């Protein structure tokens, strides 16, 4: 079944998505321009680079991907629309190159997510996909909204921190792909500057060499 654009009263077919919302070509362009303008106005600020570079990077990558698909689609946009799509693509790519993002490390760590939303609290056990110094990318089967607050508990050492949902990508049957950012713990994973993960005393005592299971990856994803 084809999904419709999620903008109220729009009946166009959805062909792209921003922050997990399905959008038609027209609304993809208007939403993209709004977000690009917002990022462009703040990208020079230190605070933006520290706190929002991950979410912005994620948006810009999705935006470039969707814009490229639209530009290449058979029988699709008018020349004017194609020009706007290419403009979005170039602008997103330029902003993306100006983001200063820390290294990402692929690592699977079991965590418990706990939500205390008034409509119904829940807990879910999941695994990280990528770690960064201030957050993580992981899958979640529950519905989430950007900015929602969660408690994240590490199942290997019991450490917990409050986190904020920084971005959401919808992934179908396997649930959402989500980026979280820690609010109360500056180095939740115990990442050291060389990209390794510090072990808990228990792990160190048992002689596991978990440290060598993780490899640093400074590539952007
Ligand atoms: Zn629409």
DSSP 8-state class, residue 199: P
Can you give the pLDDT at residue 102?
Answer: 74
In tens, the pLDDT along 96-153 reads: 999 887 777 889 999 999 998 777 899 999 999 999 888 999 999 998 888 899 999 9
CA of 31 to the centre of ligand 1 (A): 10
pLDDT at site 201: 40
Q: Which domains does the chain have, with CATH numbers?
A: 16-98 (no CATH), 105-213 (2.40.10.220)
81 CA distance to ligand 1 middle (Å): 14
Please write the tens of the pLDDT for every residue from 29-42.
999 999 999 999 99
**What's the CA-to-centroid distance between 138 and ligand 1, angstroms?**
29
CA of 20 to the centre of ligand 1 (A): 14
Q: How many angstroms separate the alpha carbon of residue 3 from the centre of ligand 1?
A: 11
Alpha carbon of 151 to those of 6, 60, 80, 112: distances in Å?
Answer: 29, 27, 46, 8
Confidence band (pLDDT; 50, 70, 90) for 93? very high
Is-contact 133 102, C-beta < 8 A? yes
Structure tokens at 45: 């600020």
């Amino acid at each position: 079944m084809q999904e419709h654009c999620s903008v109220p009263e729009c009946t166009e077919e959805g062909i792209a998505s921003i922050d997990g919302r399905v959008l038609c070509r027209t609304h993809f362009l208007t939403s993209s321009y709004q977000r690009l303008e917002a990022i462009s106005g703040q990208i020079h600020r230190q605070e933006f680079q520290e706190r929002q570079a991950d979410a912005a990077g994620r948006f810009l990558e999705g935006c470039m991907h969707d814009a490229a698909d639209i530009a290449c689609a058979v029988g699709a946009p008018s020349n004017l629309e194609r020009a706007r799509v290419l403009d979005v693509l170039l602008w997103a790519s330029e902003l993306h190159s100006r983001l200063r993002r820390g290294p990402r490390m692929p690592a699977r760590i079991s965590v418990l997510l706990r939500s205390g939303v008034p409509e119904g609290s829940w807990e879910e056990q999941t695994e990280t996909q990528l770690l960064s110094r201030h957050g993580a990318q992981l899958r979640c089967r529950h519905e989430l909204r950007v900015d929602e607050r969660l408690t994240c508990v590490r199942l290997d050492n019991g450490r917990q921190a409050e986190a904020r949902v920084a971005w959401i990508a919808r992934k179908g049957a396997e649930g959402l792909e989500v980026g979280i950012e820690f609010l109360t713990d500056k180095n939740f994973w115990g990442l050291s500057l060389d990209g390794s993960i510090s072990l808990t005393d228990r792990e160190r005592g048992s002689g596991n060499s978990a440290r060598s299971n993780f490899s640093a990856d400074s590539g952007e994803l």
